[in-house]
Amino acid sequence: MTFTKSFFATAAAVAFVATSASADTWRAWNIHNDGHPNTAAMDKFAELVGTATGGEVTVDVFHGGVLGSQPDALEQVRIGAIEVGNFNLGPIGPMVNEANLVSLPFIFKSVPHMFRVLDGEAGDVVAAAMGEAGVLPLAYFDAGARSFYSQKPINTPADVEGLKIRVMNNDLYTSMISAMGGNPSPMAFSEVQQALKTGVVDGAENNFPSFKNVGHFEVTTNYSLSEHLIIPECICVNTAKFNALSPEMQTAVRDAAKEAALYQRELWAVGSEQARKDVEAAGIVVNEIADKGPFQSAMDTVYADYLAANPDMKALVEMAQATE
Ligand code: BDP
């Protein structure tokens, strides 16, 4: 057999195709910095994926939101320009209506209740709709509960009246603030500290780790435990990229995400307690709200307006509410 020039060229091309088809590098978006539980969990996910897939899939995590704001990154994952990320389900609502279930204030009784809903029938509906839209959830993180912070304590919905409050990008959050007489201000996470500092907004809402980790506690004084939103986060992957993997590799990646999520939940339990202690030590007054009833009642119009505009969400909302 004569080895011709074209034989070598063909062999090289085949080898190249074989390598690029079997080894995949995924870019992962993460908004958080070092010191946040999700950053460690995303690093763990990358490590586990590398091991479990024998290097067939490599995950490069970009922390600190350097790949863009959350709404932008979600769009990138949806179209496959970024492969994977740790996303909050809040900003997924404008893209996937079913995901809005988790953005209805006080829909969940507690974090364990939220996980029971996600693990049940309602969660299947939400996950299927997200996958359909291109943002497939592989596992869920704990993100605690979100509460208000501002320069004054907030004990009743009336205390929110007239305050300009930063919210994440979702119309349900603007309705939530408006229902209490406040002025909602949707804004990227990266801009919130400056906005609080300069008085562009009077307050914001988040969980303890995020309140601490990006320095919001340095520019405000009171954290009031309204716990109005319990929003899960996901490791979400571009659906087409995931489906292109062999069944074995899909299982390996999904298991890695689940293990990373269990790790995240452990870190979260410790980290959110510690974050609370740290901000209190730094002078933040943490204000227990004796009766959250008035906040819940103030949300009646939010639910009524939302369900009037989205009647097909009624069954899903009832399914979540009926979950023990
Ligand atoms: C944090 C979430 C992050 C959000 C951020 C926000 O982990 O995904 O972008 O809140 O308020 O708690 O924008």
User: Helix, strand, or coil here: 252?
Assistant: helix
Neighbour-count burial of 103, counting CB atoms closer than 10 A to its CB (0-12 exposed, 13-18 middle, 19+ buried): buried
| Rounded Cα gap, residues 206 and 84, in angstroms | 23
Please list, in sequence order, all residues whose beta carbon lies within 8 angstroms of the beta carbon of residue 132, skipping any fewer than 6 positions away.
96, 239
Positive or negative, the CA dihedral 200, 205, 208, 210 is: negative
207 lines ligand 1 (CB under 6 A): yes
Structure tokens at 278: 């740290």
Tokens standing for 276?
A: 């609370």
d(CA 62, CA 190): 15
> For the chain, what is the total number of helices (H) and then of strands (E)?
13, 11
- 24-142+232-274 and 146-230+294-322 agree in CATH topology: yes
- Output the residue whose Cα is nearest ligand 1's atom 1: 210
**Residue 166 DSSP class:** E
Global pTM reads 0.93
Instruction: Classify burial at 283, counting beta carbons within 10 Å of its beta carbon; exposed 0-12, middle 13-18, buried 19 or more.
Output: exposed
Q: How far apart are CA 126 and CA 320, in angstroms?
A: 11
- Integer-rounded Cα Rg, in Å, for the chain is 22
Do 285 and 223 contact (CB within 8 A), yes or no? yes
User: Which architecture, in CATH terms, is 146-230+294-322?
Assistant: 3-Layer(aba) Sandwich (3.40)
Angle of CA points 52, 249, 96, to nearest 5°: 110
Tokens (6 digits) for 302: 């939010």
The domain spans of the chain are: 24-142+232-274, 146-230+294-322
Query: Probe ligand 1: pick from 170, 189, 193, max atoms within 8 Å of CB?
Result: 189
Kind and range of the H or E run holding 204: strand 203-206
DSSP code for 105: T
Which pLDDT value is given to residue 23? 82
Pocket residue to mutate for ligand 1, from 36, 88, 89, most atoms within 8 A of Cβ: 88
Contact by Cβ (8 Å): 202, 163: yes
- Residue corresponding to tokens 């320095």: 215
Structure tokens that stand for 126 in this block: 């939400």
| CB of 154 closer than 8 Å to CB of 227 | no
Residue 58 contacts residue 49 (beta carbons within 8 Å): yes
In which residue ranges of the chain is pLDDT below 50? 1-21
The CATH classification number of 24-142+232-274 equals: 3.40.190.170
Determine whether the shortest distance from the Cβ of 74 to ligand 1 is under 6 A: no
150 lines ligand 1 (CB under 6 A): no
Q: Would the CB of 169 count as within 6 Å of ligand 1?
A: no
